[in-house]
Structure 1
Amino acid sequence: MNTTSATLVVGATGTTGRRVTAGLTAKGYRVKAAGRSATPVEGAEPVRFDWNKPSTWDEALDGVDRVYLIPPIGSSDPAAAMLPFLRRARTAGVHRAVLLSSSAIPAGGPAVGQVHEALPGLFEQWAVLRPSWFMQNFTGSTPHARSIREDGAILTASGDGRVGFIDAQDIAAVAVCALTDEQTPNTDLILTGPQTLSYGDVAAIISEVTGRPVVHRHLTFEQLRDRWAAEIPLEFATMLAGMDRAIAGGAEDRTSDTVQRLTGRPPGSFRAFAGRELA
């Protein structure tokens, strides 16, 4: 274990970032917890970081030899900010990078797919985590959580398509392995939960666990795109609605053994997650 050099965790207060930070500090690793407001994180050194402000990059990278990368939220072109930062990180002495991407976006694909494609040429050791949809998408202030609370409904354009929903705790556990194991995979890793579920299945489980009726309401691609576009840029809204359309076509109907293989334990089920965080 290297306790002198640090791991930079971008988005250290976010859904996976705070769990990665906790996992690293629990193992005794030094962590620089990066965010736009340098929010204190237990066991870590807070540092201000903004993808769109290169003046914050050098302090964040000082003393760092590995990074956990969360792309800029809501950006349809994250490579524009990320690639200049990653080149500076390489020059600063970073040799290992773990990128959070998506099961729906391959290397060379849109958005973060461009960063994925560039990563092997930038670092000696790297991994790209490509999780399926987060179970946490049904908690907090997310669109699904809000529509469940306000309307008793989950609104998607995914039809009866199935998804291998995964708990953010399992994503973070794999990220910690990828950041700290002596041998990193130097590959992309598809991450899923133990089974695939339709949004109708999800609604039924939430109804059973909470005792409140929840249904899955089907939207068209255009309806979902316009719903998203009321909150985020149209280009990004179109991409997200397109992912739902891909789910309807079966693109996410798969499971993987990655969590079990890298962490030594099986991924958690959606029912277990709902009992823990929704009940």
Structure 2
Amino acid sequence: MTTSGTILVIGATGTTGGRTAARLTAAGHHVRAASRRATPVPGAQPVRFDWYDPGTFGGALDGTDRVYLVPPLGDPDPAAVMLPFLRQARAAGVRRAVLLGSSAIPADGPGVGAVHRALPELFDQWAVLRPSWFMQNFTGTHMHARSIREHGVILTAAGSGRVGFVDADDIAAVAVHALTDDRAPGTDLVLTGPQALGYDDIAAIVTEVTGRPVTHQPLTYERMRDRLAGQLPLEFAEMLAGMDRAIAEGAEDRTTDTVQRLTGRPPHSFREVAERELTRGG
């Protein structure tokens, strides 16, 4: 393990940030849990943090030597707010940064790809986690989960394309390793579950686990974009619909051994996650 400094977890009330903060505090690390409302997190010191309010940066960084970075949600150009923060973090003594990216966006890609490119220039110790789509998209508050609960349907423009969906608990386990191991990974890590599944497969498993019929309804790119644009900025809706189209073309049809290699155990299957999270009243 590294020194007993403080680890700043940005997005500490979110899907991966919350799980990462919980694992770090359980292991005895000093954690500063950053969120817009400084929401209390068990075992951690809550601190107010807002990517769009640089006045919150200094307090969050005070005494911090490592940071887990969750980009601002829905921002097509996160580098505009993240890079000034990262430069301030380096000046404040942060030695290691672990960024939550996406399997769909490499270092030369748009959006968070620009932050990925900058990280090794700013920090000697770094890692970029590039998880596939979250299994929790079907069990939590994501639009797929809501659509399953309310209408028994999953709507995508992904066709019969397959995805190596990954459990957010497995992402958090890798994040803790990247933040606390003696040697930072110094690379990007593509994280997947144990098998690539189509959305028809997901619908069938949810049906079996919950006993409620769920189907996958494929949409065209244009219909998916327009549906998303009713809830999100157009540019972001186009990007998400485009990611679905890439899935249809096979871009996410892969699995990696990263979770097993870094945590010493196999990644959880979607059936395991569905049984864990959909059979407790969810």
TM range (shorter): over 0.9
How far apart are the structure 2 equivalents of 1:172 and 1:188?
15
Q: Judge conservation of contact 2:131–2:171 (CA < 8 Å) in 1.
A: yes
1:209 maps to 209
Superimposed CA distance per residue, residues 241-270 of structure 1 (whole angstroms, 9 cap, x where no aligned partner): 000000000000000000000000000000
Shift of 1:3: 6.5
2:255 maps to 255
- One-letter code aligned to 1:43: G
Q: Judge conservation of contact 2:2–2:182 (CA < 8 Å) in 1.
A: no
> Does residue 64 of the first structure (1) align with residue 64 of the second (2)?
yes
Shift of 1:141: 2.2
1:276 maps to 276
Q: Judge conservation of contact 2:10–2:69 (CA < 8 Å) in 1.
A: yes
How far apart are the structure 1 equivalents of 2:139 and 2:36?
23
Deviates more, 1:135-144 or 1:50-59: 135-144
Shift of 1:212: 0.6
SS of the residue corresponding to residue 16 of structure 1 reads: helix
How far apart are the structure 2 equivalents of 1:66 and 1:141?
29
Q: TM-score, normalised by structure 1?
A: 0.99
SS of the residue corresponding to residue 58 of structure 2 reads: helix
SS of the residue corresponding to residue 253 of structure 1 reads: coil
Q: Judge conservation of contact 1:148–1:214 (CA < 8 Å) in 2.
A: yes
Gaps of 5+ in 2: none
Shift of 1:14: 0.4
How far apart are the structure 2 equivalents of 1:230 and 1:141?
17
Q: TM-score, normalised by structure 2?
A: 0.98
1:264 maps to 264
How large is the Cα RMSD of the aligned pairs? 0.9
How far apart are the structure 1 equivalents of 2:108 and 2:66?
23
2:109 maps to 109
Counting matched residue pairs gives 279
Runs (4+) of structure 1 moved beyond 4 Å?
A: 1-4
Superimposed CA distance per residue, residues 67-121 of structure 1 (whole angstroms, 9 cap, x where no aligned partner): 0000001100000000000000000000100000000000021110000000000
Shift of 1:53: 0.3
